[in-house]
């Protein structure tokens, strides 16, 4: 991949998903797309990009976007966020009887199922809803299946694995399947945060974690503005511990590290 071709892919993924790829990502982009360039019989990365932009290969376009969006997560990542949410659920159970939570960059689903486990534990028998979205159809398929390596459960609260998951046997040893009744209460939807959002309704909590780091300043502002339109007054917004809304949004109250509240 030449420098000129990489610059073209930088513009492509920024326009498609809002992601800003720095110069050090050139080798990653080349490696992730190499097999697709060959499969499409393109003679170069530049020719492959022209195929994506030509509008004649929408499936290939989605595949390329899937490959260029990083998806790394595990159950109960950044545990202090879930401790904070647990406290809010228990404090406000009577005043907010039907909680709605959006995992806005849900990747392969571990975050969404972690939220669902917490809701079911704190609000047994109460109505609640978890929506999880991602730009990648590939990871959404994995999320709907709810089948994971047990290596991703090291931060899961004691008892949750036995209560909410089925352990794999034989050839499936070392894996888990999220219990069907829990899977059925989590809805997965493809959403591009860099575009106008579909009608999602209003949420009590939004997890927007570990995605803003891939956006430039103006894109961060646009994404946060769109997301905040779905957050109820008094609702909480969670971002990643390495992320900050300083210079991005000044209308929220900081409740805890990487946790913000929308004023009433």
- CA dist 164 and 162 (Å) reads 6
Rg of the chain taking only CA atoms, in angstroms: 20
Q: What's the mean pLDDT in 90-96?
A: 75
Q: What is the mean pLDDT of residues 187-212?
A: 93
Instruction: Give the model's confidence band at 94: pLDDT under 50 very low, under 70 low, under 90 confident, else very high.
Output: low
pLDDT at 91 over 90: no
Query: To 5 degrees, how large is the angle CA 260–CA 73–CA 21?
Result: 80
Q: Could you state, in order of their start, the residue ranges of all structural domains in the chain?
A: 3-68, 79-261
Is residue 9 within 8 A of residue 29, CB to CB? The reply is: yes
The answer to whether residue 134 is catalytic is yes
Phi, psi of 133 (to 5 degrees): -135, 160
Instruction: Tell me the pTM.
Output: 0.82
Q: What is the pLDDT of residue 111?
A: 95
| CATH class for the domain made up of 3-68 | mainly alpha
| Residue of higher predicted confidence among 64 and 234 | 234
pLDDT mean over 101-117: 93
**Mean pLDDT lowest for which of 34-48, 72-86, 181-195?**
34-48
SS (H, E, C) the chain: CCHHHHHHHHHHHHHHHCECCCHHHHHHHHHHHHHHHHHCCCCCHHHHHHHHHCCCCHHHHHHHHHHHCCCCCCCCCCHHHHHHHHHHHHHHCCCCCCEEEEECCCCCCHHHHHHHHHHHHHCCCCCEEEEEEECCHHHHHHHHHCEEEHHHHCCCCCCHHHHHEEECCHHHCCEEEECHHHHCCEEEEECCCCCCCCCCCCEEEEEECCCHHHECHHHHHHHHHHHHCCEEEEEEEEECCCCCCCCCCCCCEEEECCEEECCC
Mean model confidence pLDDT for the chain = 88
pLDDT tens per residue across span 35-61? 888 888 888 888 888 888 887 777 888
Catalytic residue (one of 66, 96, 134, 209): 134
Q: Which CATH class is domain 79-261?
A: alpha beta
Residue 15 has pLDDT above 70, yes or no: yes
Q: Is pLDDT of 71 > 70?
A: no
Does residue 139 register a pLDDT over 80? yes
* pLDDT score, position 161: 92
How far is 67 from 234, CA to CA, in rounded Å?
37
More confident residue, 67 or 34: 34
The mean pLDDT of 145-161, rounded to a whole number, is: 90
- What is the pLDDT confidence band of residue 107, given thresholds at 50, 70 and 90? confident
Does the pLDDT value for residue 19 go beyond 80? Answer: no
Q: Which two tokens stand for residue 105?
A: 């960059």
Active site annotation includes 3: no
- On the question of a common fold for 3-68 and 79-261, the answer reads no
């Amino acid at each position: 991949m030449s420098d000129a071709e990489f610059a073209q892919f930088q513009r492509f993924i920024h326009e498609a998903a809002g992601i800003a790829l720095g110069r050090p990502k050139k080798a990653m982009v080349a490696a992730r797309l190499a097999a697709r360039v060959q499969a499409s019989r393109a003679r170069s990365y530049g020719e492959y990009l022209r195929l994506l932009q030509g509008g004649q290969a929408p499936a290939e376009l989605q595949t390329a976007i899937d490959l260029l969006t990083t998806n790394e997560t595990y159950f109960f990542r950044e545990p202090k966020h879930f401790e904070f949410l647990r406290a809010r659920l228990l404090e406000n159970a009577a005043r907010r009887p039907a909680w709605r939570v959006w995992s806005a960059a849900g990747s392969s689903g571990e975050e969404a199922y972690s939220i669902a486990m917490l809701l079911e534990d704190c609000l047994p028998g109460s109505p609640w809803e978890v929506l999880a979205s991602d730009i990648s159809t590939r990871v959404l398929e994995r999320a709907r299946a709810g089948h994971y390596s047990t290596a991703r459960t090291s931060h899961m609260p004691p008892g949750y694995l036995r209560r909410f998951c089925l352990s794999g046997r034989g050839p499936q040893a070392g894996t888990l399947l999220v219990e069907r009744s829990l899977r059925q209460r989590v809805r997965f939807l493809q959403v591009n945060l860099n575009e106008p959002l579909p009608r999602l309704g209003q949420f009590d909590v939004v997890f927007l974690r570990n995605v803003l780091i891939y956006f430039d300043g103006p894109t961060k502002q646009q994404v946060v503005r769109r997301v905040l339109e779905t957050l109820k007054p008094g609702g909480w917004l969670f971002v990643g511990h390495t992320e900050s809304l300083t210079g991005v949004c000044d209308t929220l109250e900081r409740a805890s590290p990487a946790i913000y509240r929308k004023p009433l």
